[in-house]
Chains A and B, each alone.
Chain A
Amino acid sequence: MDQPAPGQPEGAQPESAQSESAQPASAQSDSPLPPAVDAATGDAGWKRVHPLTPAINLIAVFLAMIAGLIAFGQSVIDDVIAAIREGRTPDMGFFAWLGENRLLWVAAAVVAFFLIAGLINYLLWRAMSYRVDDEAVYLRETLISRKLRSARLDRVQSIDVYQKIVPRLFGLAGLVFDVAGGSDSKIEIAYLTRSQAETLRADMLTRVRAAKQRTAPEAPGTRAGEPTPAEGPGDGRASTASGTGEGTAIAQPGVHARELRTGDTLGARVMRAVHGAAGEVTADAEQTLDEVLAPYRVAARTDAEGRILRIPAHIVILSQLFTLGMIVTVVLLAAAVGFFTIMTVFFPGQISLTVGLSFLPVVFGLFAAVRSTFTNANFSASLSEDGLQVARGLLSTSRRTIRLERIQAVRMSQPLLWRLTGWWKVEFNMAGGETGDGDGDNVLLPVGSREQALMMLALALPDPQPAEGIDAHTLFAAAMYADRAADITDTDPAALSAVEQRFVRQPASSRWLDPLTYRRNGWTVTGSMLIIRSGWFIRQVTCTPHARVQSMRWHQGPLQRRFDLASINLDSTAGPIAACVLHQSIPVSWQFFFDHAERTRSARAVLDGRAPAAAQQLVGQELVGQRLGGQQLTGQHTPPQHEEGGTR
């Protein structure tokens, strides 16, 4: 796009190329969209990524080479140490040989290596280009075969900027587009300069919003173009989604769900409430936010940069040190280091440097443990039109948008030692949850106070709908702290005991199966969600909105049968949270199973604007009517009243 590289001699060495091309790239970044016609390809709109990209992608190869060199050097050093210890002149072997005759050849080899590396880099760079128009984003690779990947903008779920550590050193960042559904649903534009990536992201978000607005009014029609088309039951057979036999694909509303949905239950409401107010901090925005948070009796303070939450790195690192797994790792590492020191001090000669270096795996293990800490360090969150914007990372930073209305389940947890500091962690499950690269991606709050945890919970599940005479704050105090709630929180004991009444505990017969947790375990149902309280070493509160339950499983094993118990699992989309109503007596378990099936059914109807409770919006109604093809459902539009969910 903007780099001088196409005109450069092909053998440009990466070293020189990098120092030169960094300048034009950053100079260019001021203009939001680089020139539309790419000089090299001549195609309109195709743009190139940063010329260093292939080199950075192949950095692992270079690192492997360096590691090999280090290993070689280490054996030489071992030799030298041994030689000195034995009092003879070290045999410099290879180095002597180098110095004597072939220095020129070695230099030539190094130059040739860089030439070849540069050429490969150039060819790889030329092969990659991307294009963005109003319809879709395209990524083209034309190295050997032409490969074109595209993602329709109205299907794009999220656009995230991420910075891994090596690109970060060069001031580069990547952009990931996540498309609804599928395992290989990501399109990655890497790498651009940081500011280019940010501008492109902002531009893309605008385009995505525009594209979604364009397609929303014709939602039923556009669904035909989806990978799994909604066809008649018989016709769909050929378009089997996967697996062995023939299947009938059923289209999901997916992206359009946000427009279709009229239910006021979830994150959509937050988004509507703060719509337009994001970015610039006004008292208005804070007020609407506070209205959303009101049921939980928490308040959000927005700082100068519009962040509602910021967890400094040292808190995150400290909190990780307080978890059991980390303590065990540290103790093991300390033991290993101590053992090694003792061996070297008292039995010198028995352990060579090589053996010492074999402890490296332990260090790597520790590094892996620390890595998740680093990814969540400097965690900050702010609200935007598209959802909750989360930026995090110490060494490599990433920024992603969590679409609150797609959150399927939320869990708050508190490891044993966090009780000292009153910290909680909040995680979530998300629809199309393969957005992340693993570690800590489903984190809404890596560590924070009870108020912060409640705030994040409130954003994710804004409408708790507790039963009459109970407020959500007290409810969650009881859910988080159980019988210790009165000591820790400021809530009124009388209200707490009233709330405690609503928790269904495990029967006494389960104390043999859950000797530690059976006093704490319990569940309760509000108008919008199921709250499960569990855990003793790690206190957990799992919240599953009724409307988000995928399916449920009542199950009983032989041991449970012995005690007349059964458990019910609530299946959610991929993520760290698996909700389970553990060890209930048989009648309670069956009643919960069937009642909850009914609750989730009516909640789904409300969510989709099918039930009268939420079908006021004309647009929504029309859309739903079209979508159902005029076919009315089986006369169950009135959600049956439930004793627990009476507030609706």
Chain B
Amino acid sequence: MSTPAPPPQPPRQPEPQPQREPQPQQRAAQPGPLPPPEAGVAFQPVDRRYAYARLLTESTFLLVALIVVLVVGILFWKPLLWIGLPVIAAWAIFAVWLIFRQTRALGYAERASDLLVRHGIMFHTTSVVPYGRLQYVEVSSGPIERMFGLAGVELHTASASTDATIPGLPRAEAERLRDELATRGESQLAGL
């Protein structure tokens, strides 16, 4: 195990997402003895290149849309250009903004006995998956992710609703994480 196992709660990392995090922290401070919530956990961000990979995926869609608009607009119906091009431009800007924000919101933290995964801004989710509950861990990477040397780690428990996927990790980190999780999973394995 490469990470020190007992949780000495390392100093809070520079939060990759400052606009959201202080909120629960401040609130937590109000009713007395509550432990610091998410803030006490040092989340590892995912690789910034994941945003580029997603941008590339997104841009292929945009490109197709652009071509369709241009062809149809020039050949058949001119006004489409005036509607379509601004829409595509707005979509592109929104996609860039959203993808970078979403990538920043992704994070995971290996704790002593469980793994925390969080994602989402509008719909924020933080999952906790105990190592002892892991059935198997999957590393996968699509063609575009592979171009950037990235891979995703997916955690599977006996529950179908477990939603713990860490996309956009560097390949080596993904493999380390998988092996680490498998080792810990085996050693802490709990009966169903």
Question: Chain A interface (Cβ within 8 Å of chain B)?
Answer: 228, 230, 233-234, 236, 240-254, 257, 260-261, 406, 408, 431-432, 547-558, 561, 564, 569, 571-574, 578, 585-587, 590-591, 593-594, 597, 600-601, 604-605, 607-608, 627-629, 631, 633-636
- Known contacts A555-B126, A634-B112: A250-B189 contact under CB 8 Å: yes
Interface locus among B53-61, B66-74, B77-85, B161-169 = B161-169
A204 to B126, CA, bound (A): 46
- CB closest residue in chain A, given B40: A594
Q: Check B150 for interface membership: any CB of A closer than 8 A.
A: no
Q: Beyond the given A228-B135, A607-B190, could you list 7 further A-B residue pairs with CB under 8 A, ordered by the A residue number? A: A248-B181, A252-B192, A554-B125, A557-B123, A573-B158, A590-B38, A591-B37
Which one of A246, A248, A552, A561 has the greatest number of beta carbons of chain B within 10 Å? A248
Residues of A within 8 Å of B37, CB to CB, are 586-587, 590-591, 593-594
B97-133 contacts to A, CB under 8 A, are 112-114, 120, 122-130, 132-133
Nearest CB in chain A: distance from B70 CB, A:
35
Residues of A within 8 Å of B6, CB to CB, are 634-636
Nearest CB in chain A: distance from B61 CB, A:
21
Question: Chain B interface (Cβ within 8 Å of chain A)?
Answer: 1, 5-6, 23-24, 27-28, 30-31, 34-35, 37-38, 112-114, 120, 122-130, 132-141, 151-152, 154, 156-164, 178-183, 185-192
A635 to B71, CA, bound (A): 66
- Known contacts A253-B191, A601-B113, A631-B187: A551-B179 contact under CB 8 Å: no
Identify whether the interface residues of B are mostly helix, strand, loop, or mixed: mixed
Contact between B27 and A564, CB atoms less than 8 A apart: yes
Contact between A250 and B123, CB atoms less than 8 A apart: no
Residues of B within 8 Å of A547, CB to CB, are 190
A608 to B189, CA, bound (A): 9
Nearest CB in chain A: distance from B33 CB, A:
9
Return the 10 tightest CB-CB contacts between A and B, nearest first.
Answer: A590-B37, A245-B140, A257-B191, A634-B5, A550-B159, A431-B192, A571-B159, A233-B179, A604-B190, A248-B182
Contact between B158 and A431, CB atoms less than 8 A apart: yes
A520 to B145, CA, bound (A): 48
- CB closest residue in chain A, given B178: A248
Which one of B28, B35, B137 has the greatest number of beta carbons of chain A within 10 Å? B137
Q: What are 15 A-B contacts defined by CB distance under 8 Å?
A: A245-B140, A248-B179, A251-B189, A551-B157, A553-B127, A557-B123, A558-B122, A574-B160, A585-B27, A586-B37, A587-B31, A590-B24, A590-B34, A593-B37, A605-B190
Nearest CB in chain A: distance from B73 CB, A:
35
Choose from B126, B137, B141, B189 the contact partner of A247 (Cβ within 8 Å). B137
Residues of A within 8 Å of B27, CB to CB, are 564, 585-587
Choose from A252, A572, A585 the contact partner of B159 (Cβ within 8 Å). A572
Residues of A within 8 Å of B35, CB to CB, are 591, 594
